[in-house]
Amino acid sequence: MLFRIERMRRDLLPGVWRVEEGSFAEPYPRWYFRALLEVSDFFYVALVEEGVAGYAVASREGDLLRILSIAVLPPFRRKGIGGALLSRILDEGKAIGLKGAILEAEVGNEAAKALYRSLGFAECGVRAGYYGSGRDAIVFRLNFQGAPDKKPFTSSMDPY
């Protein structure tokens, strides 16, 4: 499958909304993506011939990279798009000297958990009810200085 990763642009917002609405039962509101476009230096889209196939967005929190959201439309999943989007953001975080990255995945989302583990993330906690309706999140982290382990970050932003 041919796709390219590009920085998010305002004209791509409708495509990002389609991805969000096609990926989540409780999607983020449209204003959230407009706001992220204005403030995030880590916002990428995956483009295919048909348009936006996926997106990933993150923010810098102290010396950590917080992955805020990543999604790929169902017909384009398991084709390397999610990994490519996340890798681009992680590479940028490393390049500017951040110490690591953190993200959440719903406990039952096996595909997401497998992707994060394949990129070196390790489980470091659980956030009860994070997704509402009693759905918990597993917190994953990645230490950019070396292999992941269970030791906490030295960051003041680390929630654990």
Instruction: Give catalytic residues, as residue numbers.
Output: 104, 116
Does any domain span residue 127? Answer: yes
Does any domain span residue 113? Answer: yes
Beta-carbon contacts of residue 150 (< 8 Å; ≥ 6 apart): 122, 124
pLDDT tens-digit map of 6-53: 999 999 999 999 999 999 988 999 999 999 999 999 999 999 999 999
pLDDT tens-digit map of 42-97: 999 999 999 999 999 999 999 999 999 999 999 999 999 999 999 999 999 999 99
Query: What is the CATH number for 76?
Result: 3.40.630.30
Mean pLDDT over residues 134-142, rounded? 93
Pairing verdict, β 100-106 and 64-72: parallel
Domain that holds residue 65: 4-143
Number of domains in the chain: 1
